[in-house]
Amino acid sequence: MAVEDMALQTFGRPGGGQTEEERYKLLIEAVIDYAIYMLDPNGVVVSWNPGAQRFKGYTAAEIIGSHFSRFYVEKDREAGVPARALETSAREGKFESEGWRVRKDGSRFWAHVVIDPVRSPDGELIGFAKITRDLSERRAAERKLRQKEEQFRLLVQSVTDYALYMLDPEGRVTSWNLGAERIKQYHAEEIIGEHFSRFYTATDLQKGEPQQALEIARREGRFEKEGWRVRKDGTQFWASVVIDPIRDETGTIIGFAKVTRDITERKDTQKALEQAREALAHAQKMDAIGQLTGGIAHDFNNLLTVILGSLELASKRLPEDARIVPLIANATQAAQRGAALTQRMLAFARRQDLDLRPVDLPDLVRGMTDLLQSSLGPSMPIETRFPLKLNLVHADANQLEMALLNLAVNARDAMPGGGSIVIAAREETVTAGSAGKLKAGRYVCLSMQDTGEGMDKATLARAMEPFFTTKGVGRGTGLGLSMIHGMTEQSGGRFVLKSRKGAGTTAEIWLPAAKPAKAADDAERSAKDNAPRTRPLVVLAVDDDGLVLMNTTVMLQDMGHTVFEATSGNQALDILRRERSVDLVITDHAMPKMTGVQLASAIKAERPGIPIILATGYAELPPGVDTELPKLGKPFRQQELMQAVAAAIPV
């Protein structure tokens, strides 16, 4: 059936026998989504449509003749709401409101109500037309939406680790949560309406960062970046920022959502981690260089032992010749300079043999002040600053003097126009977990500060690397600072350089505090320096380097001793088993298959009474070995060899 035919069947055709009143009645009866009914002037129900019956549960027979106030909740009836509604409608021509209404079964629903007055042609009030719509579902949905909005608002407000706030399209703040207040220190009333650019640094403002951020968010749909931001008190923090555009249903941008997080602590942690990684990489690099340097220095020591010994013996046996003697002396001096060079290399590698004793720093510095001043010249005065009471340090006095002299020369070269040097000392206690490499304990920091040109970061980072120098070709070996670094590390301390371009340099030598030495130490050293010649001995010389072995043998024979030679530990043991007359063993340490220490242990097991001298170019002994063995440092000359033999053989 066509729509037009349905309408004709329902309402009839004009002039089809139905009156206008009948057609309106049919229309009202067909409406079930609205309660449409009539009231008399007193509010009594006089008509009732199916929509009213569906909403309120009353049939027409049950409700017609009853007052419409029965649909109101008791509280509204007591307040006179129904009467005021009719009065308002009659006076103003319409009454409209929303509120709770009551069904027949006592349940309530949320209603939208319109009451219009009905008047006769002459204006007399003859009743009211009342239209009611059940909005319970819509109200429930709105209430649920409001609850969600409130929950979201509470959620946003309860977040304190993030600054969550809104911006209008121009960048002005329109909302502000507690996280924003905590991070940026502004209260909502202080910042809402202000432009968000006030959170940026002056540098970023000059670059136009705020405008660029909003433009990127508009164009790409998101902006994300890290950077410095400014709090209300002017302090800065490192922020992670995200800006998202907010669009309406037409796609027009109506604002921006901005999320900011203070990640200063994370940045500091990352920076500390990066510094730790750099320090580890630097330590590994320095250790690798030290391993290489130590190995090279060991081989050089062997060669220099041969050269110095051979030159010394040659000078004894050659006739006095004015042309030859200066040449041998010159070669000897060059070899000694080479020996000093290898000692610096071994110092950096922490493999030199240190004579660690308690040292009084003020006495040591006073004892070499004249030497330092003569090295610096009159235009560079030296000032010393020592406390009245200062602990002794555990160090090698000779190496420490060399270190101070080296630092003073470096300071002089950094002050070509003159300047001043301050040598000072202070005590510090290092606790467990403190930054740096020092173990927990008591330390003395000996420092030398100059007013020179200083070093930039790149130079400072490489200053302690061996062979690195800024003095030019021929003016330095580049081993001075590396030697100090190795010496302090081997002594249980640390070497620290502090410098800034144009602000001078401060070198700090940290050494562990020590107890006073025993009085017997000086007597023991004096006895070694004046060792007497011994009786003729039978000596077993052991070294895997043939040149060193031959040189040692010749020097011992020149001293009047009988010598057996061995190039390995096993060969030495075979000789000892065969030759029971051996009085002394002089062995190299760094030998393949069996080291000198291992050989010494084997000899003590088979021939416990034989003295053993360990010849070594550096402090290479592993932890836990027999450190009571007398040692002969390489390179050695005949005088050092004679002293070692005299000390090992009782008179």
Query: 594-637 pLDDT, tens per residue?
Result: 988 899 999 999 998 899 998 876 545 555 555 578 888 777 88
pLDDT of residue 152: 56
**Looking at residues 389-402, what average pLDDT do you find?**
84
Q: Residue 461 corresponds to which tokens in the numbers above?
A: 């980072």
Collapsing DSSP to helix, strand or coil, 282 comes out as helix
State the pLDDT at residue 577.
92
Confidence of residue 283 (pLDDT cuts 50, 70, 90): low
Model confidence at 397: pLDDT above 90: no
- 504: β partners: none
pLDDT at 298 over 70: no
> In degrees to the nearest 10, what's the CA dihedral of 54, 56, 57, 60?
-90
- For the cut 50, the answer to whether the pLDDT of residue 9 exceeds it is no
End-to-end CA distance of the chain: 142
- Between 324 and 521, the more confident residue is 324
Whether residue 148 is predicted with pLDDT greater than 80 in this model: the reply is: no
**Structure confidence at residue 3 (pLDDT):** 31
Q: What percent of the chain has pLDDT over 90?
A: 32
Task: Name beta bridge partners: 613.
Answer: 586
pLDDT digits (tens, 9 = 90+) for 346-357: 554 444 556 678
Residue-level pLDDT at 11: 37
Please report the pLDDT score of residue 70 as a whole number.
Answer: 92
What tokens appear for 99 in the block? 């509120």
pLDDT of residue 476: 47
| 439 Rama class: left (phi>0) / alpha (psi -120 to 50) / beta | beta
Taking 70 as the threshold, does the pLDDT of residue 556 lie above it?
yes
Among 33-37, 81-85, 296-300, 532-536, the minimum mean pLDDT is found in 296-300
- Number of helical (H) and strand (E) elements in the chain, helices listed first: 23, 20
φ and ψ at residue 535, rounded to 5 degrees: -65, 160
Q: Output the pLDDT for position 39.
A: 94
CA separation for the pair 608, 225 (Å, rounded)? 75
CA 10, 13, 16, 20: dihedral to nearest 10 degrees?
A: 70
User: DSSP secondary-structure letter at 237?
Assistant: E
Q: Determine the length of the chain.
A: 651
In the predicted structure, residue 124 carries a pLDDT above the cut 70 = yes
More confident residue, 322 or 56: 56
pTM of the entire predicted model: 0.39
Confidence of residue 455 (pLDDT cuts 50, 70, 90): confident
Averaged pLDDT for residues 86-103: 93
Give the separation between CA 163 and CA 188, rounded to whole angstroms.
Answer: 12
| Least confident range of 5-19, 390-404, 576-590, 615-629 | 5-19
Residue 221 has pLDDT above 70, yes or no: yes
Q: Which long-range contacts (CB under 8 A, 24 or more apart) does 158-164 make?
A: 161/261, 161/262, 162/259, 162/260, 162/261, 163/258, 163/259, 163/260, 163/261, 164/257, 164/258, 164/259
